Structure 1
Amino acid sequence: MYKKNLENDIKSDTSGHFKKVLVSLLTASRPSGNLVDRTQAKLDSEELLNAGTKKWGTDESKFVTILCTRSFSQLRAMFDEYEQLTGHSIEEDLKKECSGDLLRVFLSIVACVRDKQAHFASILLKSMKGLGTKESSLIRVIVGRCEIDLVQIKQKFEQISKKSLAEYIKGDTSGDFRKVLLILIGDEDAIKK
Structure 2
Amino acid sequence: MTGPDRAFWQQRFVDQQTPWDRGAPSPQLAAWLADGTLAAGMRVAVPGCGAGHEVLALAAAGIDVVALDYAPAAVALVSRRLAQAGLQARVVEADVLAWQPEAPLDAIYEQTCLCALHPDHWSAYAAQLQRWLRPGGRLALLAMQAPRPGSRDGLIEGPPYHVDINALRALFPGAPWHWPKPPYARVDHPAQAHWAELALVLERR
TM-score between both structures, scaled by the size of structure 2: 0.26
Larger radius of gyration: 1
* Higher relative contact order (Cα pairs below 8 Å, separated by 6+ residues): 2
Structure in which a larger fraction of residues adopt strand: 2
Q: TM-score, normalised by structure 1?
A: 0.27
